[in-house]
């Protein structure tokens, strides 16, 4: 087994307010191996982006890590001083955000931004950094990179800006990339190109990627494994094909059922009734129980932890009940 590059252990994130403390992430654990792409999926408010922000040290105040550990390459990083985290984030951990305009300075050429980023983290001369910047633009699929390096962000299309952001994330040769909804604002054909680019970069550079998205199509096309989040907890995690085709958690079943199949004639899309609970109103027991068609008394009383469910692990008492029935039958 390859040693994980990133290990998230029992991560807990809180937001103190005047009316009490809101628990946004509750006991989240997963790992990512070098060269692996882990998808993190769930509805809006599940905690996907917050998990990524906690890993790269960019939690918005008053949010804070209140428990657990984040270990990168054998070294704990969640308790690092801000300056040390900033150096680590640029050099060893890259970030790709949903809106490229928030990552690019409109007043500087993309060449200046790339060169400054490269020289901040790598011992390079101005000319060497410029050559590396041109190479990165070429690698991320920007044509005429030698000319385009002198252009400003507004002179690029949305898809091309996202490629520039990916080039920035790769500037110092990071070993981990946290990509937060990198294809959401793009049309389908550009999405496919960005997905292909991420997969190729992961393969060629051996980088680990945490891909945050709500798009199961992107997950299916891109990822090796997938973690399904619900109300700040991992509902199910496992190999992507298993989670998509043989989901064990009722929430995952609902997510998969809501994706329209091209070979089915269906008048209405399936949907999960209800909505994600607010942070100040998370129900006791399993947080999904008010929306779950298979909930029973134990689901309302006790909160399940992840447990083996075939090739995946799911936080669901139905899995435990099925395992118990199978044991009795044997």
Domain ranges of the chain: 6-92+172-263+270-280
Distance from C-alpha of 324 to C-alpha of 330, rounded to nearest angstrom: 10
Across the range 309-320, mean pLDDT stands at 95
Cβ atoms of 305 and 321 closer than 8 Å: no
The CA dihedral of 231, 236, 239, 241, to the nearest 10 degrees, is -90
How do residues 252-296 score in pLDDT, each as one tens digit?
A: 999 888 777 666 676 777 788 899 999 999 999 999 999 999 999
Distance from C-alpha of 91 to C-alpha of 77, rounded to nearest angstrom: 14
If residue 20 lies in a helix (H) or strand (E), which one and from where to where?
Answer: strand 20-32
Residue 271 is predicted with a pLDDT of 81
- Look up the CATH number of domain 6-92+172-263+270-280: 3.40.50.300
Distance from C-alpha of 42 to C-alpha of 48, rounded to nearest angstrom: 7
How do residues 189-239 score in pLDDT, each as one tens digit?
A: 888 888 888 888 778 878 899 999 988 888 888 899 999 999 999 999 999
The pLDDT mean for the chain works out to: 91
How do residues 70-122 score in pLDDT, each as one tens digit?
A: 999 999 999 999 999 999 998 999 999 888 878 899 999 999 999 999 999 99
Question: What's the whole-model pTM score?
Answer: 0.92
Distance from C-alpha of 178 to C-alpha of 155, rounded to nearest angstrom: 26
- Pull the structure tokens for residue 157: 């299309």
């Amino acid at each position: 087994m390859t040693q994980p590059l990133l290990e998230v252990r029992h991560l807990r994130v809180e937001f103190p307010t005047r009316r009490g403390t809101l628990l946004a992430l509750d006991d989240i654990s997963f790992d990512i191996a070098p060269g692996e792409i882990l998808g993190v999926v769930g509805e809006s408010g599940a905690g996907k982006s917050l998990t990524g922000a906690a890993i790269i040290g960019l939690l918005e105040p008053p949010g804070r890590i209140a428990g657990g550990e984040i270990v990168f390459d054998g070294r704990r990083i969640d308790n690092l001083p801000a300056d040390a985290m900033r150096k680590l984030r640029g050099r060893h951990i890259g970030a790709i955000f949903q809106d490229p305009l928030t990552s690019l300075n409109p007043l500087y050429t993309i060449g200046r931004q790339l060169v400054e980023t490269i020289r901040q983290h790598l011992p390079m001369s101005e000319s060497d950094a410029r050559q590396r910047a041109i190479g990165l633009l070429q690698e991320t699929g920007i044509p005429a990179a030698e000319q385009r390096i002198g252009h400003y962000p507004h002179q690029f299309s949305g898809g091309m800006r996202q490629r520039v952001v990916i080039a920035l994330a790769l500037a110092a040769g990071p070993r981990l990339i946290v990509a937060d909804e990198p294809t959401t604002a793009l049309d389908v054909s550009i999405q496919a190109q960005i997905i292909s680019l991420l997969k190729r970069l992961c393969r060629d550079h051996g980088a680990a990627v945490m891909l945050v998205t709500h798009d199961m199509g992107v997950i299916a096309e891109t990822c090796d494994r997938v973690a399904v989040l619900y109300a700040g907890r991992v509902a199910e995690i496992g190999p992507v094909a298993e989670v998509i085709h043989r989901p064990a958690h009722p929430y995952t079943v609902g997510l998969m059922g809501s994706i329209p199949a091209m070979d089915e004639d269906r008048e209405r899309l399936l949907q999960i009734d209800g909505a994600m609970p607010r942070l100040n109103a998370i129900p006791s027991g399993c947080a999904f129980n008010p929306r779950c068609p298979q909930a029973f008394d134990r689901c309302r009383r006790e909160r399940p932890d992840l447990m083996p469910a075939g090739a995946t692990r799911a936080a669901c008492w139905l899995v435990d009940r099925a395992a118990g029935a199978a044991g009795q039958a044997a």
